[in-house]
Chains A and B, each alone.
Chain A
Amino acid sequence: MILGLNKKEEIVLIKWFHESSDYVRFSQGLIRQSGKVNDISLKVSVIVSNRMAHFTTSLSGIIDTDFERVKKGIEQIRRDLVYMPEDLHIMFAKDMKSTQRQILDRSLDNYAVCSDILKQTANFDLVGIYVGGSISRGFANSLGQLNWFETESFHFDYSLYHHKDKAVKNQYAGKLWDSQKFGLQIEQDKIQFNKLSKTPVSLKPGKYRVFLSSQALSEIIDLLSWGGFSGKSHKTHTSPFMKLIDGNKALSSKVNMYQSYESGYTENFDAYGFVYSGKVTLIENGRYKESLISARTAKEYNLSPNSSDSESPSTFEMSCGTILDSEILSTIDNGLYISQLWYLNYSDITACRMTGMTRFACFLVEDGSLIAPLNVMRFDVSIYDIFGSDLLDFTKRQDLVMSASSYGGRSTNSKLLPGAIIKSFNLTL
């Protein structure tokens, strides 16, 4: 219906976003807030005579009402387009590659799940957020292409607080809630939880041998994804990875990073109709290989697009190493076990140097044993060191870390990450 609104000379692109999720927020083992969000929106792009403009509107789900809204939006776009300069960087798909992908199992009972959460964590000071529901994304254009992605899933991101700032943090995500599996996970969490009862240790600033869990690495990758893999950032020399790109620096040959369109729980098409498959190798054997290129960047620099407008990974993978779980503590020997990092930011982008904090269940390790929890410490390190000469190895096991972000709506991003042993990690405060 909407695509019928376009004039002969116009190309119309439509991107659909829908989320219907129950969110339940826990604090002190009780419910702080609980409710449902039902959010539908549509982004319409109109292209005519090398000019493009976008209009986004929320939708009510009532066809006549929504049709009028979109019609008004398209009329607005047409008025704006008259004044837009010619845009040489417009690029949209013309090969009409329609796709459909659904990851569904419509038996998620969020009330039952929350009851189970409360039951299984009854003796804990539980803090966290449970979200369960459906997400759909769609694309259509006036050339006849149609792409659809739909999933029903849950994500429980939680902490079990021992005292003050000492807690074990974990997440459980999937399609079907498995009470037994969750119960086993809580039992595993208890092992670290019980160790938090010991008197915490305050460290002096200095360099330490550390294990960074997959969740800690996830925070580092999130920061690197902020322009690090962006094609536009590379071309404008504003990427934090410029020294790697220019060949002035290298990472350890054990470092391999990818954007994967083969796996993941998110759509593989963008707002211009490009459908992505396979893997983009971002870093290979420690050397920069490829960037994430949006349609606009592709047109500007005569490249092929391989990413959405964000030019940051949606399904990130990092290759594993050889350290078994049973070997982690003995390999640390004397150092630190860091389960989470927090609030990372760049202290010197050109040097790819970042600062942040340790957080949650971090421990002092002596002679291969967890001795005591740590009070929080600030670190300041360069990627070229911790993933360079200071990297000992990664773990053999990789964990699927689902994004808990819900700014504007639930994220469907994920990362497959190992843990890492770093020989020298600089703590500053």
Chain B
Amino acid sequence: MEPPFLQSLAFELGKNFDFLSLRYVKQTEQVLYARCGYVQPAQTSVDEGVMVVVHHNKGCGYAATSDISTFGLKKAAEVAAQWAAFSSKVAITDFSVITMPKNVGEYHSKIEQPWYSVSIAEKINLLKLCSEKLKISDKIVDWRSSLWNLEEDILYATNQGALCQQYFKYVCPNLEASAHHGSETITRSYKGRGLCRQIGYEGIREGELIEQCVQTAEEALALLAAPNCPEQIMSVLLDPDQMILQIHESIGHPLELDRILGDERNYAGTSFVNLDMFGSYRYGSSLLNVTFDPSVPGEFASYAYDDEGQTAQKVFLIQDGILKHPLGGGVSSFRAGFKPLANARASSWNRPAIDRMANINIEPGVSSLAEMIASIENGIYMKTNASWSIDDSRNKFQFGCEWARLIKNGQLGELVKKPNYRGISANFWRNLVKVGDETTMEALGSPFCGKGEPNQAIKVGHRSPACVFSNVEVFGGV
């Protein structure tokens, strides 16, 4: 699909409507995977389609189709218009008065080594090597390595002149090992499946990946032999590969404006945040600074425009602990009276855009890892998310990690397994007592953030330092 063709089609199909947009998405994917020493069948896929959105006479309708011929898109525009007409008297807002962006521009993921410049033979050899390196003991009963590549072209054109072209390239390697003895099985992964970035094959870093295979398997065995995490109120030091989950569930989701407005109440839930809180509510300690930042090179959800053509810029959501700005795209922000962020996003062509977090990052502080450990009298250092659960208002949570070491009098101590902690978001962030410096920062991500009706899973990025929280209810397995 060529951008000028899409643009001319948007003008042609949209000539009788207040607003019409065409969002073309092409996703080309390759998944290579080995389990228990066996390389699984290679999977490649190409998914291509267009989402047509019409605003007219106060209503809004959409039609998504994999038939991207001129005839197919004309039919889709007619269907979108029919739904716009049906909803015009019962729409949640007056879509005709929403000013839609008219931006023109491009974005390209910056990569050094294209994925397909490396042969499938080399990649399969890497997976075989990873498999050998993960199986370091008979107690390792399940071991997995995978390489996932996604290339995504998104072209967005409207009948008002917007034309945004974005070309993304993503890579996610993954390693996991499960160790078993008696009636116990422990799984350890490399970065909790979170090593997701906009990058080329240079992101694989084969030597490092192979080293990590051995470390991952060794840690699984060590955890198998370790005692259960004790049950206590203590300080918790969270590494970035757990912080990503903490940020995601108890900052990202509660700040999504469509949740605050009530649109997700039947499925993903609401928020303990309400519109009056912005500008004054103390969300966390004064050490907490959280940004929506689509400009970080290589972070998983960086982009120049959202899926409604809004220009994306860095914005503080929480500054010095005070709640500043919600995560609202064009439609929600219009309804709520806020300036929009560029976070109206869809998983693919076959879903309409809704308010989605993208890169939600914690800005670095001043403490090194050693300083943070030294500051803890009675606590625990946890790494890598294993389990997550939170209530529908995003308040009462319980999270589990793969790995932990106790901290006593500023020293790292015993390794423990099945570390879990629970809390209430509003209190938890106010107990943030240390924020790591740049040396503790990592940018991770996930392609599996689920939300919306119909459901859609989207890519998110979280760049975070290690952080310390006080007075946390910690417990372990049975």
Contact = CB atoms under 8 A, between A and B. Distances in A.
Interface of A: 22-25, 27-28, 30-41, 45, 52-62, 65, 69, 73, 76-77, 79-80, 83-85, 87-90, 111, 114, 118, 127-129, 131, 157-159, 161, 165, 167, 169, 236-238, 242-243, 246, 248, 300, 342-351, 353, 355-357, 359, 376-378, 380, 382, 404-408, 410, 428-429
Contacts of B400: 345-347
Interface string B439-478: 0000000000010011111000000000000000000111
Contact of A236 (B36, B53, B62, B80): B36
Contact of A54 (B43, B262, B398): B43
Given A31-B87, A35-B64, A128-B266, A61 B185 contact: no
B91 interface: yes
B408 interface: no
16 contacts: A24-B83, A33-B354, A34-B60, A35-B64, A36-B79, A37-B64, A38-B66, A45-B41, A62-B67, A76-B44, A85-B124, A85-B128, A87-B40, A161-B262, A236-B36, A347-B477
Interface residues of B, number: 83
Contacts of A28: 92, 262
B127 to A, nearest CB: 10
B422 to A, nearest CB: 6
Given A34-B61, A378-B422, 7 more contacts: A27-B92, A27-B263, A65-B69, A83-B121, A248-B183, A345-B388, A349-B185
Interface of B: 36, 38-49, 53, 59-69, 72, 76, 79-80, 83, 86-87, 90-92, 119-121, 124, 128, 141-142, 178, 180, 183-185, 187, 261-263, 265-267, 269-270, 350-352, 354, 387-393, 396, 398, 400, 418, 420, 422, 424, 450, 453-457, 476-478
Given A60-B67, A85-B124, A87-B38, A380 B398 contact: yes
A57 B185 contact: no
A40 B49 CA distance: 10
B201 to A, nearest CB: 16
Contacts, number: 263
Given A23-B454, A114-B86, A342-B391, A158 B396 contact: no
Contacts of A128: 266, 453
Nearest to A34: B83
A429 B396 contact: yes
Contact of A342 (B41, B354, B392): B392
A376 B391 contact: yes
A406 B45 contact: no
A36 B277 CA distance: 37
A60 B262 contact: no
B62 A406 contact: no
Nearest to A111: B86
Nearest to A72: B46
B45 A57 contact: yes
Contacts of A300: 38
Contact of A429 (B41, B393, B422): B422
A53 B43 contact: yes
B90 A31 contact: yes
Contacts of B68: 60
Contacts of B90: 30-31, 118
Contacts of B350: 37, 39
A356 B387 CA distance: 11
Contact of A35 (B44, B61, B91, B453): B61
A336 B162 CA distance: 55
Contacts of A65: 69
A356 B422 CA distance: 11
A35 B422 contact: no
